Amino acid sequence: MSVNVGGRDLRVPAAQTRGERFDDLVLDAVEELEQRWAKELEGVEFAVEDVPVVPLGSDPALDDDVLVDDTAGGAVPLGRLLPAGTDDRGRPTAARVVVYRRPLEARAADRTDLADLVHDVVVDQVARLLSLDPDEVDPPPA
């Protein structure tokens, strides 16, 4: 898309996609937490995946690292914590928080609700990572 400014055509990006808007919501939630937990979150990776990949025959509700939607009987993962460890070659890997876009979008009534859901999932996963209660990670307003 281009816009004419002062007689010159300048290229500007088109509107953001839903995925890009969702990424921004995750970044906003992470930046808010990094203000308080910068040292503890140093090196932690945050990622967005469209949908969770659940191996056939497995139950995501039984995996301690997966945050599931209890209203859906625990069948729909909303986020996942992959703890730091080592890869197949013995190299260290960073802890990683994954947020699943499509399940959260399906549960949100509007953009504000989606932002709240994303924030809650990120807070929950960071709380799991730090072995804290979510209210300690992000205290509710007084």
Domains of the chain in start order, with CATH, are 17-52+59-137 (3.30.2010.20)
The terminus-to-terminus CA distance of the chain in angstroms comes to 46
Q: What pLDDT, in 10s, does the model give residues 12-25?
A: 566 678 889 999 99
**Three-state secondary-structure class, residue 35:** helix
pTM of structure: 0.80
CA atoms of 130 and 137, how far apart (whole Å): 9
Q: What pLDDT, in 10s, does the model give residues 65-87?
A: 677 766 655 667 899 999 999 98
